[in-house]
Chain A
């Protein structure tokens, strides 16, 4: 696994044996630790129910794709999937657009209250979700009663909530990213007759695409994985995957093979998307968060 090919060595010296052995042992153990649940998820999802109800078996007694068929009828998984996709997708798009505007203002302009703004937005990261869960629930109910706009129990309410979760980190990361785009570029655009928004969309945004992709990935994952607000603020028709996956337990038994099959189906799109785009996240972290 780890024979050294000194393509771009960090130092002119070859790594000593102790280092190579430490690396081999460490990486082997870590790979096992990381892959163990993944193996359990995949193998259990292909087992008949007897296999997952009794003593754990490393190898299934018989392979079956039955769980993958049953997951769609045991709970309305397609409905939950749709809800999650709409909520996470909308929250991501809104959050990215809003973060781009805010980060552009902070990166390119000097104005009164700038420091207060950045500090306030960042400190919201610190709030325990539990502190504003109940008040937010009451606010949404009251807005609903007063205006007739159903926020509580609707996808809209969840979208609104989620997009603010990723906003602070997104703004912070984009400020760093925009700062690394040379100012001369958008100044030239301004001289050429672009408005400030023209300069933003024609020059700064294209130059900062990796950062924007990174922020979008982060926002999507945040929304796709959130549990607390999803369990309080949804009803039967708007339930997301985070809550819906708990439905595979009957009174007497948990259909673990179906749980694992559903978990896999739910995870694959996000993991694939993330792994495809992860280099942008690393690039984004380098330019933005890590300074």
Chain B
């Protein structure tokens, strides 16, 4: 992420000799400014991240240990401690709340794996197919970015219209025109809602994968392809032996980012289904929102969010560990 040579140079200039980075005190008047400056530059970002992200997060963790009702929420810090009660409610899979949370967790996992996988697949295939110049390439490239550029709610509202039972395009095509279904299906309630959600999520998400992979392709030196062609490797072989392996570092970042965005996605189901999602598409973010704001179980909702954060932390940590190890062994 940072260029080590640049840091080394900066190091030589600002910190002369002694322990690196340890600003024990100014030796010359000019040094105060120099060492204070980076902190000064970081201050706005730091204050804002503290105010909007870190302090609320700490508050959220505290709230998860309290018995909060809609009456005690106004003065939440005075609410009584309830220890791990909220967590017990959340993870007790024999009780309704825990059972529903577990269900929602599995739905979210399935949804995330499918959505990220399909987005990656579509994005990579498109980037590779658009790597060479051909007539119409520029137009297609611009066109494919439209789903990414559309504001989430306008795109999802349009899909919601297409999935309407009586006046939607999907039922018109599947039932009226192709006759594939006996009667018009419901897409925004019942089991089909999972398919609807996945379709919208992939439609909206794949261009980001396309953008990132396209950027990654530009870093592959042309000589590699030329050498491979001289050795007699065909197009498909070049893709398998050169393009895909070269994309590995890009993919590692891409998959992680897609995973975090998809797993936490709130906007898509919220606009598609409204405040309460059907059971088959009850993503965890909507589920926690519902617990917190519709049934006013603020403490339990907070506990669920903390569990969600812990899960994301563990998965991200494991992922980073695995990918960095593989990178190291690949270097040897």
Which residues does A use to contact B, with CB under 8 Å? Answer: 1-13, 15-16, 18-19, 22-23, 26-27, 30-31, 33-38, 40-41, 44, 52-56, 98-99, 101-102, 104-112, 114, 117-118, 120-121, 124-136, 138-139, 160-161, 163-164, 167-168, 171-172, 175-176, 179, 183, 196, 221, 224-228, 231-232, 241-242, 245, 256, 259-260, 263-264, 266-267, 270-271, 274-275, 278, 281-282, 285-286, 289-291
Contacts and interface: CB of A to CB of B under 8 A. Distances in A.
A98 B45 contact: yes
Given A175-B2, A263-B154, 13 more contacts: A8-B133, A36-B169, A114-B38, A118-B1, A120-B54, A126-B312, A129-B266, A131-B56, A134-B292, A134-B302, A164-B48, A164-B49, A278-B149
A279 to B, nearest CB: 10
Contact of A102 (B6, B41, B152): B41
In the A-B complex, list the 8 residue pairs whose CB atoms are closest, starting with the nearest: A132-B56, A135-B56, A131-B305, A135-B59, A274-B149, A263-B154, A105-B41, A56-B172
B135 A54 contact: no
Interface in B122-156: 122, 125-126, 129, 131-136, 140, 142-155
A274 B38 CA distance: 32
B216 interface: yes
B203 A34 contact: yes
A263 B158 contact: yes
Nearest to A100: B41
A132 B6 contact: no
Nearest to A184: B9
Contacts of B37: 105, 109, 196
Contacts of B151: 221, 224-225, 241-242, 266-267, 270
Interface stretch (B83-91, B94-102, B190-198, B218-226): B218-226
Contact of B212 (A2, A112, A226, A285): A285
B42 interface: yes
A204 B197 CA distance: 44
24 contacts: A1-B135, A2-B134, A5-B135, A10-B131, A10-B132, A16-B236, A36-B162, A55-B167, A56-B167, A105-B38, A110-B10, A127-B309, A129-B266, A130-B288, A131-B56, A133-B289, A139-B56, A160-B52, A164-B48, A176-B1, A183-B10, A228-B289, A259-B157, A270-B150
Kindly name the residue among A34, A53, A118 whose own CB sees the greatest number of chain B CB atoms within 10 A.
A34
Contact of A16 (B228, B235, B298): B235
Contacts of B54: 120, 124
Interface residues of B, number: 118
B132 A138 contact: no
B45 A40 contact: no
Contacts of B122: 30
B153 A101 contact: no
Interface string B270-295: 11000000000000010011001100
A152 B319 CA distance: 38
Contacts of B270: 227-228, 231
B6 A179 contact: yes
Interface stretch (B13-21, B109-117, B321-329): B13-21
Contact of B146 (A2, A11, A34): A34
Contacts of B215: 282, 285-286, 289-290
A52 B172 CA distance: 12
Contacts of B255: none
Contacts of B63: 134-135
B264 A128 contact: yes
Given A109-B14, A118-B1, A291-B1, A127 B267 contact: no
B249 interface: yes
B76 interface: yes
Interface in B44-58: 44-46, 48-49, 51-57
B152 A5 contact: no
B211 interface: yes
Interface string B302-314: 1001101100110
Contacts of A168: 49
Contacts of B71: none
A119 to B, nearest CB: 10
B42 to A, nearest CB: 5
